[in-house]
Amino acid sequence: MAIARLHGGPLDGQTLPLDDADLDRLILPYSETQVVYTRSGEAENTGSDDGATEVAFRFEEAEDRLVQDGEGEGDVKHRS
């Protein structure tokens, strides 16, 4: 099994299980909208004895307006 490590955006710091470590893009539900993360590098820890394979993904955009804790409403499309 592999894990996705998310960087930036509303899900920054989260990890998610991946069925396919070759994915280039993740589209994830967030509140009443969706957020998009794109792959940002090669898979790490791909050996048989160095833990779960890990793939970094960076925030690309949100499909709708987002309101985060302590912040006002953002633009229709967010980019990092």
Reported confidence tier of residue 74, pLDDT bands at 50, 70, 90: very low
Q: Is 45 left (phi over 0), alpha (psi -120 to 50) or beta?
A: left
pTM for the model: 0.74
Amino acid 46: pLDDT = 86
- The one-letter amino acid code at 70 reads G
Q: pLDDT of 50-69, one tens digit each?
A: 888 999 999 998 876 555 55
Q: How far is CA 64 from CA 29, 37, 41, in A?
A: 11, 14, 27
Average pLDDT of the chain?
Answer: 83
Of the candidates 77, 13, 71, the one whose C-alpha atom is nearest the C-alpha of residue 3 is: 13
Query: Distance (Å, rounded) from C-alpha 21 to C-alpha 42?
Result: 9
